[in-house]
């Protein structure tokens, strides 16, 4: 009977050979939570293949610089304004080429290949829709209702088209990525399932999110090779429950402190009459701010935990990913970025972008088993940019 032992702690377990999955797998130690890759079973028929199948961790690296990106950002923003926005597809391609070109895996850079003219067509359609929406909507509320309905119906389509376009135009080692889902499934996961979230008062939210992520991940391909996604619904619920528990604890502590303060401190201070009116507004403002901070923290926690989980359970042709974002560091980066952007009237946007991208990429790595040369190119079909640009103009974040 093979024995599995954790390299971190002393945990050992005998496992029936039938329980060990075929091929490459990972184990999470039940005692200390350490993730490790057991050595492949020592089968004595050593082939050429097996000796090269060493497991190595290849980090993603990011080489962008804030100063350099500032130049690109400000010049392209100016050109965008001078052309009343019509330059924006070119600006987008330049910025993405800079960010993708500075992202490397195993010293091979990524590339963004989109043709600005294709983006331009999508941009024009999106801009017409936006102007129609805001003008008609302000003149007659019925229009905005109709528009919202149409937009709701189009969302699953937009999600798929946008991802198809972006994947198709991303390349690594001169192989393009692609996204090849069934539209029917897209309507199920992005059209019908969100209704379930509302109907169950949010109880189904982890399930719906899980289905959406699985849909997005499983239909991704690098060349011909599909990505596989192994996270389970239970993993998603576990993260949501932990988030709820954590925030209930925090709000209990805050309420307790607030109560104590109002009981002991307030009677000691006599407020002048004039101030008390301001104080009421201040209190409402404070409560609102508290609510915003609270929901931001919750969504940040979920973002970090879920993206770690998603990457750790994704594999590509026998290779795994690992993501080690930390809630605290990510929270600091997002919050300080927000303040920096607000206080600099947007001038620090490039700095914030580079900083966030760097952190996200440097926490990501590929756990490669053997060489990475065996991927093959897939079929190559042009995808229109309409979905991508409409989504962009209406500020939809499809998230990758």
Partner 1 sequence: MTECRGTYYDGHTALSRSVQLLVDENELLIKGHEFERRYPIPTLRLSPPVGRINRVLYLPDGGRCDLADGLMCGDMESLLRPHGLSHFIHRWESSLRRAAIALLITVAVIWAFITFGIPVLAGQVTEMIPPTIELRTGEETLNLLNHALLKPSHLDADRQHHIEGLFTTILRDLGDDRPYQLLFYHSPSLGANALALPGGTVILTDDLVALAKSDEELIAVMAHEIGHIKHRHALRMVIQNTSAGFLVAALTGDLLSTTSLSAALPTMLVESKYSRDMERQADEYAVHYLTQKHISLNHFAAILNRLTQYHDGGASKERVDSWNLYLRTHPTTTERIQALHLTRRPTEITNSD
| Residues at the site binding partner 1, with contacts judged by CB under 8 A | 64-65, 67-82, 85, 88, 91-92, 94-95, 97-98, 101-102, 108-109, 111, 130-131, 134-135, 138-141, 172-175, 223, 274, 277, 292, 296, 334, 337-338, 341-342, 345-347, 349, 352-353, 356, 372-377, 392-393, 395, 397
Q: Which residues of 153-187 are buried (b: 16+ CB within 10 A; e: fewer)?
A: ebbbbbbbbbbbbbbbbbbbbebbbbbebeeeebb
Q: How many Å apart are CA 293 and CA 331, to the nearest integer?
A: 11
Instruction: Let me know if 1 is exposed, middle or buried by CB neighbors in 10 A (0-12, 13-18, 19+).
Output: exposed
Kindly state the smallest distance separating residue 333's Cβ from partner 1, in Å. 11
**Least separation, in Å, of the C-beta of 238 and partner 1?**
25
Tell me the closest approach of the beta carbon of residue 289 to partner 1, in angstroms.
11
Nearer of residues 204 and 216 to partner 1, judged by Cβ: 216
User: Of the two residues 34 and 63, which places its CB atom closer to partner 1 in the complex?
Assistant: 63
Q: How far is the CB of 129 from partner 1 (least distance, A)?
A: 12
Q: How far is the CB of 3 from partner 1 (least distance, A)?
A: 36
Q: For residue 207, what are its two tokens?
A: 């399930």
Nearer to partner 1, 89 or 194 (CB): 89
Give the C-alpha separation, 92 to 392, whole Å: 11
CA distances from 375 to 103, 154, 174, 228, 324 (A): 19, 34, 11, 15, 26
Number of other CB atoms surrounding residue 378 within 10 Å: 18
Q: How far is the CB of 396 from partner 1 (least distance, A)?
A: 9
Kindly tell me which of 68 and 185 has the beta carbon lying closer to partner 1.
68
Distance, in Å, from the CA atom of 94 to the CA atom of 90, rounded to the nearest integer, reads 6
- Which residue, 95 or 161, is less far from partner 1 as judged by CB? 95
Q: How many CA atoms lie within 13 A of 385 on its CB side?
A: 22
- Give min distance, CB of 388 to partner 1, in A: 13
- Closer residue to partner 1 (CB): 94 or 161: 94
Q: Which is nearer to partner 1, 127 or 196 (CB)?
A: 127
Other CB atoms within 10 A of residue 333 CB: 18
């Amino acid at each position: 009977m093979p024995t599995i032992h954790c390299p971190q702690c002393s945990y050992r377990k005998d496992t029936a050979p039938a329980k060990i999955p075929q091929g490459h797998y990972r184990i999470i130690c039940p005692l200390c939570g350490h993730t490790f890759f057991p050595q492949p079973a020592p089968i004595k028929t050593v082939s050429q293949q097996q000796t090269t199948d060493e497991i190595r961790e290849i980090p993603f690296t990011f080489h962008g610089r804030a100063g350099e990106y500032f130049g690109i950002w400000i010049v392209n923003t100016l050109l965008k304004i001078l052309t009343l926005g019509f330059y924006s597809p070119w600006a987008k391609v330049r910025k993405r080429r800079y960010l993708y070109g500075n992202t490397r895996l195993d010293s091979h850079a990524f590339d963004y290949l989109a043709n600005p003219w294709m983006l331009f067509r999508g941009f024009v359609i999106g801009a017409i829709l936006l102007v129609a929406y805001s003008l008609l909507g302000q003149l007659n509320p019925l229009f905005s209702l109709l528009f919202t309905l149409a937009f709701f119906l189009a969302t699953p389509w937009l999600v798929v088209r946008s991802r198809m376009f972006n994947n198709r135009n991303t390349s690594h080692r001169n192989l393009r990525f692609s996204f090849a889902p069934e539209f029917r499934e897209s309507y199920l996961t992005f059209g019908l399932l969100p209704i379930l979230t509302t109907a169950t008062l949010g109880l189904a939210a982890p399930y719906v999110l899980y289905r959406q992520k699985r849909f997005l991940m499983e239909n991704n391909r690098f060349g011909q090779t599909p990505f596989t996604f192994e996270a389970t619904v239970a993993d998603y619920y576990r993260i949501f429950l932990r988030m709820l528990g954590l925030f209930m604890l925090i709000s209990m502590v805050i309420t307790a402190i607030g109560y104590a303060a109002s009981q002991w401190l307030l009677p000691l201070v006599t407020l002048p009459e004039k101030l008390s009116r301001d104080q009421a507004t201040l209190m409402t403002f404070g409560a609102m701010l508290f609510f915003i901070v609270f929901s931001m923290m919750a969504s940040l926690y979920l973002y970090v935990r879920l993206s770690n989980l998603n990457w750790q359970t994704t594999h590509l042709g026998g290779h795994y990913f690992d993501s080690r974002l930390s809630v605290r560091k990510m929270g600091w980066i997002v919050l300080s970025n927000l303040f920096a952007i607000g206080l600099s009237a947007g001038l620090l946007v490039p700095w914030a972008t580079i900083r966030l991208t760097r952190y996200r990429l440097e926490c990501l790595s590929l756990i490669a088993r053997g060489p990475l040369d065996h991927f093959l190119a897939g079929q190559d079909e042009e995808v229109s940019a309409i979905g991508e640009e409409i989504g962009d103009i209406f500020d939809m974040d499809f998230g990758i």
